[in-house]
Amino acid sequence: MIRAVILNHFAEVDPIIHTVLIERQAQIPAVKAITDPEHYFARLVEDIISQQLAGKAVEAITNRFLNLFPDRVVTPDQLLKCSEPELRVVGLSGAKARYIRDLAEHTQQGKIQYAEFKTMSNEEIIFELTQVKGIGQWTAEMFLLFTLGKEDIFSFGDLGLKNAFQRLYKVPESSNLKTEMERVTASWTPYRSYGSLGLWRFLDNREV
């Protein structure tokens, strides 16, 4: 459930998204952080696997992928023992196979300091993650929201958010959508992540 302080904030700054959050609050999970950095590598691997795939395909490919590893636990060392053809057999594209291997190499070489993330700014974390092939702004932002539990994330490049925002706020096709999104979501700070979750839920349900 969404905390009362967050609902009150949206009630004050934006009644449109507040209505969505009230109507859908039972379906919107609290933003929670995974605090153990040892899990971050595996989460990022799954984030890369899920790029541009629908839910059922993600689940099927991820399950086959995890079965490659003892106890279904993915580590950089174990991943690097898997060849690209082995990874492709479970359903990964050649590009994604290379991306997760690149992530494993970065992790193994200590180029990503997961334990330092708790003291780093969002921008610093995004910069570090996007040095890995296959991790762009969107993937880094999803990691910040769903793994690190950051409450003030809004991904302006997310197609679902753009579609939901345009529909909910009735933005004309002729308007600059990003400018309008920036204007509206500025008032959501410091809880933009909940606005994002509300928009995604609105898109799933279509109507408030």
pLDDT at 35 over 80: yes
Per-residue confidence band for 206, with pLDDT thresholds at 50, 70 and 90: low
41 with 90, same domain: the answer is: yes
User: Given 3-state DSSP classes, what are the helix, strand and coil percentages for the chain, each rounded to the nearest 5?
Assistant: 65, 0, 35
Report the alpha-carbon distance of residue 101 to residue 106 in Å, rounded: 9
Range of the domain at 25: 4-31+154-205
pLDDT digit string, tens, across residues 174-192? 889 999 999 999 999 999 9
Is 142 part of a structural domain of the chain? no
Task: Select from 14, 60, 26, 31 the least CA-distant residue to 153.
Answer: 31
Report the alpha-carbon distance of residue 136 to residue 132 in Å, rounded: 8
Distance of CA 162 to the CA centre of its chain: 15
In terms of C-beta density within 10 A (0-12 exposed, 13-18 middle, 19 or more buried), how is residue 53 classed?
middle
Is 147 part of a structural domain of the chain? no
More confident residue, 206 or 122: 122
> What pLDDT, on the 0 to 100 scale, is given for residue 82?
95
pLDDT digit string, tens, across residues 138-181? 999 999 999 999 999 999 999 999 999 999 999 998 889 999 99
pLDDT at 65 over 60: yes
Please state the domain count of the chain.
2
Is 11 part of a structural domain of the chain? yes
> What pLDDT, on the 0 to 100 scale, is given for residue 202?
94
Report the alpha-carbon distance of residue 116 to residue 46 in Å, rounded: 21
CATH number at residue 90: 1.10.340.30
47 with 68, same domain: the answer is: yes
129 with 169, same domain: the answer is: no
Model pTM greater than 0.75?
yes
> What pLDDT, on the 0 to 100 scale, is given for residue 156?
97
107 with 129, same domain: the answer is: yes
Neighbours of 139 (CB within 10 A): 21
